[in-house]
Amino acid sequence: DGLIDEYLPRDAVLDMSGLTFMDSSGIALILKVERRMREIGGRAFIENPAKQPLRVIDASGIDRMIPIREEHA
């Protein structure tokens, strides 16, 4: 929240390229970022998720809320 509130970005890119494991704590963090970005009129994106985090994202339904990109455009 602190960085989002300080800089008020239009987009928050969650680069997951170095992440090999994610559990419910990761889901909670992603949802917190997405909610805060929505509050300030911005968007969140998930980028480069590995297989296990992507399975968690898919199972949780986050992929229907936040766009997933394979690499930074």
Domains and CATH numbers, the chain: 2-69 (3.30.750.24)
User: pTM, whole model, 2 decimals?
Assistant: 0.83
Q: What is the pLDDT of residue 9?
A: 81
- pLDDT < 50 regions, the chain: none
Give the tens place of pLDDT for each residue, 15-32.
999 999 999 999 999 999
**By the 8 A CB rule, do 17 and 48 touch?**
yes
* 10 torsion bin: left (phi>0), alpha (psi -120 to 50), beta (else): alpha
